[in-house]
């Protein structure tokens, strides 16, 4: 069995879920009787036993999470306080990781609870084979156009991929990217930051169409359906 103690996993869950709405950020809602964020964390605990998991939470949610854990007898990973954007949340987590102790860093959206072991291991396997930045990707099924002001220009669908998490990185690379390109923390994923490093190849591995990000109302129902399919 592979040794995972040089792997750190950052689970970002400091968002407020504006698009999902409701009183409670979506990552704390139940999905088939289990809290979304606990499902996400447990997927990594099962796929990568011994890996170091960092959970990024908003300072607003710390008390809520502590109570949730004690009520459910759930052991929390180490917590890092997040920032105003996803990028700022990731940056805070990375500053808690020592690249001399950590070879690979996986970064995953807390709001993707259906991430499975096979996908996690595909990403890690590619890192172990030498890739510096790995992203799970899917082909588009709809057509795609680019916006130019009010006009739309057709684009070739096969030139594009949809990008998911977990994204995996050599630890020096991703820490370097976040330390040096802090002007742009509006990126919605981490390979976008890594890709700012000249000559760095971002490698794609097959994503999973069930690995949805809970984003809009109705997505939990869809995730429930996918869960049923996998039983």
List residues near ligand CTP by CB under 6 A: 12-20, 25, 27, 56, 82-86, 89, 109-111, 213, 215
Output the CA–CA distances (angstroms, integers) from residue 37 to 14, 30, 133, in the order listed: 11, 9, 25
According to CB under 5 A, which residues from 8 to 47 bind Mg ion? 15
Residue 110 site contact among ligand CTP, Mg ion, none (CB < 5 to 8 Å, cut-off depends on kind): ligand CTP
Tokens coding 24 = 């409670």
- For the bound state, the minimum distance from the C-beta of residue 198 to ligand CTP, rounded and expressed in Å, comes to 27
Tokens coding 41 = 């964390």
- For the bound state, the minimum distance from the C-beta of residue 111 to ligand CTP, rounded and expressed in Å, comes to 4
- For the bound state, the minimum distance from the C-beta of residue 5 to ligand CTP, rounded and expressed in Å, comes to 25
Which CB sits closer to ligand CTP, 25 or 166? Answer: 25
- What CA–CA distance (Å, rounded) separates 49 from 191? 25
Residue 178 site contact among Mg ion, ligand CTP, none (CB < 5 to 8 Å, cut-off depends on kind): none
Between helix 86-94 and helix 171-180 the angle, nearest 10°, is: 120
- What CA–CA distance (Å, rounded) separates 205 from 122? 7
Strands 104-109 and 7-13: parallel
- For the bound state, the minimum distance from the C-beta of residue 166 to Mg ion, rounded and expressed in Å, comes to 17
Q: Which of 117, 92, 108 is nearest to 2 (CA)?
A: 117
CB 152 within 8 A of CB 145: yes
Residue 176 site contact among Mg ion, ligand CTP, none (CB < 5 to 8 Å, cut-off depends on kind): none
Which CB sits closer to Mg ion, 8 or 109? Answer: 109
Which CB sits closer to ligand CTP, 125 or 215? Answer: 215
Tokens coding 81 = 């306080």
N-terminal to C-terminal alpha carbon distance within the chain: 26
Contact mark string toward Mg ion, 51..70, x via CB under 5 A: --------------------
The residues of the shown chain that bind Mg ion, judged by CB under 5 A, are 15
């Amino acid at each position: 069995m592979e040794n995972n103690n040089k792997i750190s996993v950052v689970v970002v869950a400091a968002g407020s879920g504006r698009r999902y709405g409701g009183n409670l950020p979506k990552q704390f809602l139940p999905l088939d009787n289990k809290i979304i964020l606990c499902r996400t964390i447990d997927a990594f605990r099962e796929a990568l036993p011994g890996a170091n998991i960092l959970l990024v939470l908003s300072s607003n949610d710390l008390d809520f999470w502590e109570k949730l854990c004690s009520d459910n007898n759930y052991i929390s990973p180490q917590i890092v306080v997040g920032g105003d954007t996803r990028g700022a949340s990731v940056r805070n987590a990375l500053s808690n990781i020592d690249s001399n102790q950590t070879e690979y860093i996986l970064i995953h959206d807390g709001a993707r609870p259906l991430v499975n072991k096979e996908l996690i291991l595909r990403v890690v396997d590619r890192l172990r084979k030498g890739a510096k930045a790995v992203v799970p990707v899917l082909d588009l099924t709809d057509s795609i156009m680019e916006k130019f002001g009010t006009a739309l220009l057709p684009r070739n669908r096969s030139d594009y991929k949809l990008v998911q998490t977990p994204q995996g990185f050599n630890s020096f690379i991703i820490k370097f990217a976040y330390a040096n390109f802090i002007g742009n923390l509006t990126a919605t994923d981490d390979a976008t930051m890594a890709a700012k490093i000249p000559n760095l190849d971002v490698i794609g591995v097959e994503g999973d169409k069930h690995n949805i990000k809970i984003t809009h109302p109705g997505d939990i129902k869809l995730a429930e359906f996918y869960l049923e399919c996998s039983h």
